[in-house]
Every structure is written in C-alpha cells, then in structure tokens.
Amino acid sequence: MLKTELVNPNVGNFIESIRDIGYSFEVAVADLIDNSLTAGCTDLQIIMLPQPDLIFSMLDNGQGMNELQLVEAMRMASRNPKEIRSKNDLGRFGLGLKTASFSQCRKLTVISKKGTEIHSRQWDLDYISEKNEWLLITPDTISNIPLFEELNKMESGTLVCWQLIDRCDKNSLTDIIDQVRKHLALVFHRFLEGADQRAVKIKINNNPVFPFNPFNLNHPATQQLQLEKIKIYGSDVFVQPFILPHHSKLSQKEYEFYATEEGYIKSQGFYLYRGNRILIYGTWWGLHKTVDAHKLVRIKIDIPNNMDALWGIDIKKSIARPAEIIKNDLRRIIGRVTEIGSKPFTGRGRKIEDKTVISFWEILPINENFRFAVNHHHPLYTDLQDELSASGLEKLEIYLKGLEAYLPIDAIQFKLQNSPHQLKQQSAISESDIEELSVRLRGAGLSQAYIDDLLKTEIYKNRKDLITDANK
C-alpha cells in the first residue's frame, strides 16, 4: 500500500509567491477585461482614484453571476485548461481574475448582479495569511465602492474593485492611466472597432479609449500582403503580413503614432491574436533578427483558443512560444515578407549607385568590405583640382580623407531610426548658394561636356535651367 501523508502549503507564503508572476498594471487590467468580454459585455467603465489611497474599480454590463457562479469564479484554478471552451472565451486557466488582481492589490472585491440579485465576495490577503486558510469573505459594506451605484441601476453586470494597491505609486497615477489606456487601445482594438459584430466601449475616468490598429490599414501606402491559411492538427491559423508606409509618406505625427512608444525597431515582427485579442506583439520568437531594414514589417497571426498549448501561452497571456511544428511555416513567411519589407530602404539606399546621377559620394570596395568615399570624379571636384595649388590640393585631400574616415555612421543610423522627420540634411546647401554657384559657372566658359556632367549631379538634376543658359 502506498504510504502518503498530507502536506498542505503554507497559504500565506503561497499567496506572496503567486503575487510575483510578473504582471504589469496594464497587463493585469487587460486580464480582467478578458472575463468581461467573455461575459458578453459591450460597455466597460474603469475608475482609478488616488485619494485617500489608490483604488481601482471596473464595471462591465455583461451577463453577471448568481451567488454560486460568483463563488466559483473566486476559486483559484476554477477552470481546467484542457476543457473545451466556446470560441469567444478569452480565458484558459481560471486564474486570471485572481492572479492579475493579487499581483497589484491585497484586497479584491467582486460584486455581480444578475436579475434582481446582487452578490459580493472578497479575498483579503492579509486575512488569509493570518488564518492560513483560503477563507472567502462576504463583505458587510459594498455601497461605498466606486461604480456600485451604476451597477445597481443596471440589469446585469460585474464590478471588480482593487483596494490596498501596493505595487504602484499613486503619485504616478497619471502615467499609470496613460500606460493602461495605450495598452488597452492596442490589445483590444478589434473589440473597440466593432469586431465580431460587437462594438465595445471602454472608458477610463470617463474618457473613452480609442482603438489603435497597429497595421495602419487606412493609409494607401500600407502594403497588405496575401492572407495565408495554415492547417495545424485540424485547426486553421491565419497569417496576414503588412508592410507599413515609409516615413517619407507619412507626417511626422502619424509616423511617431504608429511607431508606438517602443519605436519601429521593437514593434516589428509578429502580432498574435486569439479571439480577436492581441496576446503578444513585436516579436520574432528568435526566428529572425531585429534589424532596421525590416522595421516596417508586421505580421498578424490569428489562432483559435483550442491551440494554446501549441503556442505556449502563459497565465498572463502576454508570453507565447510557438511549437516546432509551427516554426517552419513562420520562417518561410518571414523570408518572403522581409524581402518585400526591406525594399523601401534598400531602394533608397541604392541611390548612391544610380549610374544616371553623378553623386557627391560613392561606395569603394575594400577586398570583401567597403567604405563610403567622396566622389573624386564629380565635375566640381575636378574643376577644383585644376584651380588649387599643389599645397592647397594636398590639404583638401587630407580634409576629405578625414571626412570619410570619421563619417558618423552610428549617429546617422540612430537619428534615422528615431527621428527621421527631424533630419534636414539638404538644408546644408540653400537655393541662394546654388544660384550663386550657377552665376559663377555661367561666366566660366563651360564646355558642353562639362555642362552635361553638371546636369547629372544631385545639385542640378532638377534645376537644369540654372545651367543650360551657360553658353548663351
């Protein structure tokens, strides 16, 4: 006979451990909203108040819960992650409400209305630690909880309240609200847009959250590539790549808006949706390197909620690790899309090698390497060679070699990545500078061959009229 003994966990210690799963405030709030959306809500109100202590309340107009359903919802691991769920169910483990809440506060109160009945339950972590048992409280007073009066007027709904919030500073409330707003605008943008014939409204402190679609679908320069359906173990996965517009086709405001706070470099890659909700975004899952040339590539993946195990989705629904069976298809798609996605940059990068233009710069090969160099065949340079003394020409050569050697490549790349609209390189030479040069050249008795070369230079390519009268 198997010998066993009962060893119960220390509940107080266990509680403190599960508080450190790794939720940020905005991810925890998103986990609560999953429950509300699963309950069929169309309206969500969030109130965050700093006085006297930071308090968070969220009210939905979903179907609500009776007393038995509420108690079960408060149970840890109330769902078996392997059970079959409806396609609109955004949960999995039956832990989200509790773990998300415990990660931010020490007192969680849930009040739900269904029909004419209102029921409430509360987890108080300090009380649990003191008693060392999972003792669920039925609170005496709930009317003082923010948004309770609104719930009381509704036909059905659920109110979640966090008190004794100890994982963020109330003095940073403005920043916290801003982060929550931006996160919800992205993660739930399809619901806010009216996906699945259900338009959901979310308000934070009475201010609406507007959807942020990361693919900039309404811009004519956005490239929407072919939708691909991949069948894995009988379930369909839909993959849709997008190439966002180059910064030259956007205003500075729009370019910065779609970059997100993390910037285009960190926002490139896969955007994984499950049930119209973004789970993870801005990742290549180690299948591809993050490079500047692919920063406009964003690939949308839609999966059903019966594939969580194959995608390694965690409790927080903010980490995913696709199984090996999926990775080969993802690598193939990456190769196809990044080749297209790099064209807005490689096309512009090849301008220096355009043989129809005589550039100020050229690319010089060095065995298997290369460097950028001033073009010594530029007509203005060859003209200068004839005019300078040997000593002057020697000084010019040293100066140009220093210019080439210390070209600030890193600084240029950084500025182009972070603030391309602020780079005004061509302002180094003004229209008056060019006109003054043209006047001097006209009086220099130029040969037709020299004029033809000048017309091919970057300066005169679109200003032919300034030189063509030179011999008249």
Q: Which two tokens stand for residue 464?
A: 């032919």
Residue pair 246/293 in contact (Cβ under 8 Å)? The answer is: no
The answer to whether the beta carbons of residues 222 and 340 sit under 8 Å apart is no
Local confidence pLDDT in tens for the 472 residues of the chain: 888 888 777 887 888 888 888 889 999 999 999 999 999 999 999 999 987 889 999 999 999 999 999 999 998 864 544 555 455 544 444 467 999 999 999 999 999 999 899 999 999 999 999 998 899 999 999 999 999 999 999 999 999 999 999 988 888 899 999 999 999 999 999 999 987 677 899 999 999 999 999 999 999 999 999 999 998 888 899 999 999 999 889 998 998 999 888 888 889 999 999 989 999 999 999 999 998 889 999 999 999 878 877 887 777 666 778 888 889 999 999 999 998 888 766 655 566 667 778 888 888 888 878 888 888 888 888 888 888 888 888 888 888 889 888 888 888 877 776 777 777 877 888 888 888 878 877 777 777 777 778 788 888 777 777 777 544 4
* CA neighbor of 106 nearest in space, from 23, 53, 167, 25: 167
Fold classification of 223-342 (topology level): Ribosomal Protein S5; domain 2 (3.30.230)
Q: Which of 38, 43, 159, 141 is nearest to 88 (CA)?
A: 38
Q: What residue spans define the domains of the chain?
A: 11-208, 223-342, 351-466
Tell me whether the CATH fold assigned to 11-208 matches the one assigned to 223-342. Answer: no
**Pairwise CA distance, residues 449 & 427, whole Å:** 29
- Rounded to the nearest angstrom, the gap between the alpha carbon of residue 14 and the centroid of all alpha carbons in its chain is 34
Q: Which CATH superfamily is domain 11-208 in?
A: Histidine kinase-like ATPase, C-terminal domain (3.30.565.10)
The H or E element that residue 266 is part of is: helix 263-267
State the Rg of the chain over Cα.
Answer: 31
Q: Could you tell me if 418 and 247 are in contact, meaning their C-beta atoms sit under 8 angstroms apart?
A: no
DSSP 396-415: HHHHHHHHHHT--HHHHHHH
Are the beta carbons of 55 and 163 closer than 8 angstroms?
A: yes
Q: Report which DSSP code applies to 209.
A: P
The CA distance from 399 to 372, in Å, is: 15
Instruction: Provide the H-helix boundaries in 139-262.
Output: 148-153, 173-187, 189-193, 252-259
pTM more than 0.85: no
